[in-house]
Amino acid sequence: MTGPLVPPGPLTTGTELNAVYAIARVVAETYDTETGLDTVFRLARTIFIFDIVSLYLQSEKTGDLEPAYASALGRGRSQEAELSWGEPAAREAYRTGQTVLRQEDAGPSVKGRERRRDYLGLPMLVGGRCVGGLVFGRFGGPSFPPEHIRLAEFVAWHVGQLLENRRLAHRIATLEAQRELARMQDEFISTISHELRTPLGFIKGYVTTLLREDVDWKPETRVEFLRIVDDESDRLRELIDNLLDSSRLESGRLGMTCVPTRIATLIRDASERTRSAHPEMDLRLEIEENLPSADVDATRISQVLDNLLSNAHKYAPDSTVTIVVKNLDDNIRIEVKDFGPGIPTEHIPHLFERFYRVPGETSTIRGTGLGLYICRKIVEAHSGKIGVHSKLDEGSTFYFSLPTIAIAETNNSEKDDE
């Protein structure tokens, strides 16, 4: 015998019928197993008497039975510690696949009638497999009469359904997560292949052209082609560096080497790099005086600045760009402000996610959606915060903060208004 596979036959009283319908409804409608079990056992107690109920399920890790749920509902309410008493009945029902009745003696520490313990063990069937045992315990007799055993089997069948629902929900969630992962991997491969192909296409095209033996290229044309090859190789290297950084940042393998650093100097260096790369850009600095030092990895913070400035150049090409640096209570706040197209509000919460790019016009500009993610990870590794304020057609202000250390910078002439 493997225990009841369908609810046992017709019931007798109206109370039983109502409780049975209510139990069936709970099983059909409840997704939270713990709440479902609480309700089912509360309803069960209206149709037959028991003092404790406990559920033992096979552990996925060890394969052994482990307590999964326990509740004292009747006379044993104050004796929750004794719930484990039903374990032998659960084990026997699990091992034999049959309903078992055990009578035990609580021993001399329990006075009076309650020394007598009756345990009704029922096999727990989920998806046609016995996965554990359900135990109803009754203290102080009398034992469970046959009609109560029948009702208990009915309840056990429904508890099995509740667990089956949970198993299926879990399985669906796992499958959905796997599908989402596969989708993200596909999307990642297609984005990255596209991004790698573009510079590679230029390099291959111009090199093949230069190698043609039937054409005698003028020196200035040759230089121009080689410059394109040079630029595109830089892009390729930058892309691969970003990919490596992003994977190291994600797994926490990118260590920061932090030393007390003058932030104003970092900002000036970053703005010089941007000016030499984009001489046409109207870049201004507003740096507050007497900035304290901050404990930072200068290379990584420079990377954040370069990224924000490069984005301002890419997405707000004709705009004035201003770097504003302020000393707040215990941190330095750095802002990169442009007067470009701005970013639609609904995309702002996602901007710092890996591979996120705003769809629409700006997505025609080359990029991978890694830059802001890398910035966020670097700033967070410094215990700082990063964010953006943006309004459509007015512009965007990307900002980040870095906690300061108490030593004031010696150079007081940091105010620049260019």
- Binding residues vs ligand ADP (CB under 6 A): 311-312, 315-316, 338, 340-341, 343, 351, 356-358, 362, 367-373, 396
Give alpha helix (H) positions in 298-406: 298-315, 371-381
Cα separations in angstroms, 22 against 17, 153, 162: 9, 16, 14
- Min dist. Cβ of residue 184 to ligand ADP (A): 16
Report phi then psi at 271, rounded to 5: -70, -35
Within 140-281, strands assigned E span 259-261
State the burial class of residue 24 (Cβ atoms within 10 Å of its Cβ: 0-12, 13-18, 19+): middle
- Which residue, 110 or 200, has its beta carbon nearer to ligand ADP? 200
- Min dist. Cβ of residue 354 to ligand ADP (A): 9
- Which residue, 27 or 343, has its beta carbon nearer to ligand ADP? 343
- Min dist. Cβ of residue 240 to ligand ADP (A): 14
- Which residue, 122 or 372, has its beta carbon nearer to ligand ADP? 372
Q: Are 321 and 309 in contact (CB under 8 A)?
A: yes
- Min dist. Cβ of residue 244 to ligand ADP (A): 15
Measured from the Cβ of residue 347, the count of other Cβ atoms closer than 10 Å reads 15
- Min dist. Cβ of residue 309 to ligand ADP (A): 9
- Min dist. Cβ of residue 179 to ligand ADP (A): 26
- Which residue, 36 or 341, has its beta carbon nearer to ligand ADP? 341
- Which residue, 293 or 396, has its beta carbon nearer to ligand ADP? 396
- Which residue, 122 or 378, has its beta carbon nearer to ligand ADP? 378
Q: Are 369 and 357 in contact (CB under 8 A)?
A: yes
Place of tokens 């691969």: 240
- Which residue, 225 or 356, has its beta carbon nearer to ligand ADP? 356
- Min dist. Cβ of residue 379 to ligand ADP (A): 13
R_g of the chain, CA atoms, integer Å: 35
State the burial class of residue 189 (Cβ atoms within 10 Å of its Cβ: 0-12, 13-18, 19+): exposed
Q: Are 225 and 217 in contact (CB under 8 A)?
A: yes
